Structure 1
């Protein structure tokens, strides 16, 4: 399970703004089954692209 503020990467294209490989940070853990997370995805300059609710299968851990 991911933790708040973990840095993650999108494992697939989530939408046109968030292609595969886009980095983000877990902002909130939504305790559902399966777990869902509010993730703030950012561009290469650290500017926010979008805040999305995504599941475990959509993310891979970069660093915690």
Structure 2
């Protein structure tokens, strides 16, 4: 009987640890997804900034040529 209790307690401890680890993995996955979204947005912003710089450069060159 005592051995059964010990095994049940051990199993429950492992289950609790597994659930905690699963929750941590899920939280880390969410953080990675958020960071990926931020990186994509930063890339889009950089492309937009590059487009703006190109436009301003062309406009400035056109003004200097006139």
Q: 1 or 2, which has the higher strand percentage?
A: 1
**Greater RCO (CA < 8 Å, at least 6 residues apart):** 1
Q: Normalization by structure 2: what TM-score?
A: 0.14
Question: Which protein has the larger Cα radius of gyration, Structure 1 or Structure 2?
Answer: 2
Q: Normalization by structure 1: what TM-score?
A: 0.15
